[in-house]
A and B are shown apart, each in its own frame.
Chain A
Amino acid sequence: MLLKQPQLPTPAATGAVPDWLRFDRISKRFGAFTALNGVDLTIRRGEFVCLLGPSGCGKTTLLRVLAGLTAQDSGQLYLGGRDISRLPPAARDYGIVFQSYALFPNLNVADNLAYGLRTDRASKARRVGELLQLVGLPGCEHKYPAELSGGQQQRVALARALAQSPSLLLLDEPLSALDAQVREHLRRELRQLQQKLGVTTLMVTHDQDEALTLADTIAVMNHGVIEQVGSPEMIYHQPASRFVANFVGRANWLPVEVSEQGEVRLAGITLALPATALPQGWADMGWPSTAELFCRPEDVQVAPHWAPGDNGLMAFVERVDFLGNVRRALLTLVTARQISLWAELGPNDAGLEALVPGQLVPLHLPANRLRLFAEAA
Chain B
Amino acid sequence: MKALRFWLEAGEAAVPLWSPDQRVARGLGWLAAIGLTLFIALPLLAILLQAVIDSESGQLSLAPVQAVLASPGFLDSLLGSLTVSLATVALVLPTALVFAFALTRSRMPGRGLFKLLALSPLLAPSLMPGISLVYLFGNQGLLKSWLGDASIYGPIGIVLGEAFYTFPHALLILLTALAVADARLYEAAETLGASRLRRLLTVTLPNARYGLISAGLVVFTLAMTDFGVAKVIGGQYKVLALEAYKQVIGQQNFGKGAVIGLMLLLPAVLSLLVERWVAGSRSASLGGRSVAFHPPENRWRDGALWLFCGGVLIGLLALLGVAMAASFIKLWPYSLELTLAHYDFDQMDGGGWQAFRNSVQMAAWTALVGTLGVFGVAYLLEKMPLPPLARQICRTLALLPMAVPGLVLGLGYIFCFNHPANPLHGLYGSLAILVLATVAHFYTTAHLTISTALRQLDGEIEAVSATLCRPFWVTVWRVTLPICLPALFDVARFFFVSALTTVSCVIFLYTPDTVLAGVAVLNMDDAGETAGAAAMATLIVATALLASLLLSAAGSLLNRRAQAWRGQPH
Give the B-binding residues of A (Cβ under 8 A). 28, 67-74, 85-92, 94-96, 98, 100, 102, 104-108, 115-116, 118, 144-150, 153, 160-161, 163-164
Report whether B478 and A90 are in contact in the complex, using a CB–CB cutoff of 8 Å. no
Which 4 pairs of residues, A with B, have the shortest CB-CB distance?
A116-B468, A88-B19, A71-B13, A102-B460
Complex partner residue of A102 from B464, B565, B569, CB under 8 angstroms: B464
Most chain B CB within 10 A, of A94, A104, A108, A150, is at A104
Chain A hits for B570, CB < 8 A: 149
Chain A hits for B463, CB < 8 A: 67, 69, 89, 96, 98, 102
Of chain A, the residue at the smallest CB distance from B463 is A69
Report whether B465 and A115 are in contact in the complex, using a CB–CB cutoff of 8 Å. yes
Chain A hits for B14, CB < 8 A: 71, 73-74
Report whether A88 and B461 are in contact in the complex, using a CB–CB cutoff of 8 Å. no
Report whether A104 and B478 are in contact in the complex, using a CB–CB cutoff of 8 Å. yes
Chain A hits for B479, CB < 8 A: 104-107
Report whether A144 and B465 are in contact in the complex, using a CB–CB cutoff of 8 Å. no
B residues 234-273 touching A (CB-CB < 8 Å)? none
Further contacts, 16 of them, CB under 8 A, given A71-B13, A89-B466, A145-B569: A69-B463, A69-B466, A71-B12, A86-B16, A86-B17, A88-B17, A88-B19, A88-B466, A90-B466, A92-B467, A100-B458, A105-B566, A108-B565, A115-B468, A116-B470, A147-B569
B35 CB-CB contact with A under 8 Å: no
| CB within 8 Å for A87 and B565 given contacts A95-B467, A102-B461 | no
Q: How far is the CA of A69 from the CA of B12 in the complex (A)?
A: 13
B22 CB-CB contact with A under 8 Å: yes
Report whether A105 and B468 are in contact in the complex, using a CB–CB cutoff of 8 Å. no
Chain A hits for B567, CB < 8 A: 144, 146-147
Number of inter-chain CB pairs below 8 Å: 109
| Chain B 467-486 interface mask (CB, 8 Å, partner A; 1/0) | 11110000000110011000
Chain B: minimal CB distance from A167 (Å)? 13
Most chain A CB within 10 A, of B20, B460, B467, B566, is at B467
Q: How far is the CA of A69 from the CA of B463 in the complex (A)?
A: 7
Chain B hits for A161, CB < 8 A: 467
Chain B hits for A145, CB < 8 A: 565, 569
Chain A hits for B566, CB < 8 A: 105, 146
Chain A: minimal CB distance from B512 (Å)? 48
Chain B hits for A108, CB < 8 A: 565
Chain B hits for A118, CB < 8 A: 469
Chain B: minimal CB distance from A303 (Å)? 49
Of chain A, the residue at the smallest CB distance from B485 is A106
Most chain A CB within 10 A, of B13, B17, B482, B569, is at B17
Q: How far is the CA of A96 from the CA of B469 in the complex (A)?
A: 12
| CB within 8 Å for A90 and B469 given contacts A107-B479, A147-B567 | yes
Chain B hits for A71, CB < 8 A: 12-17
Q: How far is the CA of A156 from the CA of B470 in the complex (A)?
A: 18
Report whether A100 and B17 are in contact in the complex, using a CB–CB cutoff of 8 Å. no
Chain B hits for A105, CB < 8 A: 458, 479, 483, 565-566
Q: How far is the CA of A104 from the CA of B483 in the complex (A)?
A: 9
What are 14 A-B residue pairs whose CB atoms fall within 8 Å in the complex?
A74-B14, A88-B19, A90-B466, A96-B467, A102-B463, A104-B461, A104-B478, A105-B458, A144-B564, A145-B565, A146-B568, A149-B570, A153-B569, A163-B468
Of chain B, the residue at the smallest CB distance from A68 is B17
Chain B hits for A144, CB < 8 A: 564-565, 567
Q: How far is the CA of A5 from the CA of B464 in the complex (A)?
A: 22
Chain A: minimal CB distance from B469 (Å)? 4
Of chain B, the residue at the smallest CB distance from A69 is B463
B7 CB-CB contact with A under 8 Å: no
Chain A hits for B483, CB < 8 A: 105-106
Q: How far is the CA of A106 from the CA of B569 in the complex (A)?
A: 13
Report whether A106 and B17 are in contact in the complex, using a CB–CB cutoff of 8 Å. no
Q: How far is the CA of A354 from the CA of B115 in the complex (A)?
A: 74
Complex partner residue of B464 from A28, A88, A98, A153, CB under 8 angstroms: A98
Of chain B, the residue at the smallest CB distance from A166 is B467
Chain B hits for A107, CB < 8 A: 478-479, 565
Q: How far is the CA of A280 from the CA of B569 in the complex (A)?
A: 54
